[in-house]
Amino acid sequence: MTCDPRPKNTGLFRAHRLRAAGAACVVLTAALLTGCGQDSGSTSTGTETSEAARAVPERTTSTSPSPSASLTKDQQKRKKLLDSTKITFDKAVTTAEGAVAGSKLIELDLKAPGKDTGASASASASPSGASSSPSGSSASPSVTVSSPSASPASTGPEWVASVAAKDGTEHTVRIDAVTGKVLQTVEDQGQDAQEKSRTAERIAKATQTPQEAAKTAKDKAKGTVTSVDLDDNDKNVLVWSVDVVTKDWKETEVDVDAASGSVTGEHVDND
């Protein structure tokens, strides 16, 4: 009788192999899951970054505003007018008084191109409700108009002056503010004897010249004179009202006593 050797315990080895294979599968599966999770996370992060980039607006280059952008319309007009004016206030006074022999200045104003100078025509007319004659026919109004040819056109700024002769008769003188040339000299229409007498009286009382009054105003406001006017103030005091444009292109009105030369009032136009 042959004794066969006892068979080896193959089942035990098989179980060990199965457990080892299972453990390997578990490790592999975990590694795959981790890799997938990382990929998913990376994709999500990339997407969020892309979306965030799209959400940020593109940087635009801002330009600094021009100096004139901060000025009001009135300030811009004053700046433009003075930039184009070459004839100073003093020269305009001398030219205006020289246009009418023996005259004295009572008003001077710097005007922009296209502004009404008030010297193109003088007209006097009866009231619009003209009375009718007994026959029922209406009387036509009386109108006196100076010749249009006496008002030459000007494309630049002008000094418009009012000067008075010794008897008080007023004349309007237009001066080119670039060249200094006299554009027009015309006697104002419709002045009666009483108005002429009042004008002559004011000139006699005004011991301060317009140039002296302008200097006083400039010492007070520090700028460029653009207008002077001899008139009574609200306290019935004869004054030179002087307009001065300061460096910030604002306008200051300074009232100077026409007899004593003292400053009686000051008003700043902030527009």
Is-contact 163 184, C-beta < 8 A? no
Is-contact 153 120, C-beta < 8 A? no
Q: Tell me the per-residue pLDDT of 150-196, one tens digit each, with 9 for 90 and over.
A: 456 668 999 999 999 999 999 999 999 999 999 999 999 999 999 99
Of 68, 154, 149, residue with least CA distance to 111: 154
Write down the pLDDT at residue 114.
Answer: 81
Is-contact 262 240, C-beta < 8 A? no
pTM: 0.65
Is-contact 217 227, C-beta < 8 A? no
Write down the pLDDT at residue 23.
Answer: 53
Q: Tell me the per-residue pLDDT of 107-158, one tens digit each, with 9 for 90 and over.
A: 999 999 987 766 544 433 334 344 434 444 444 333 333 444 445 666 899 9
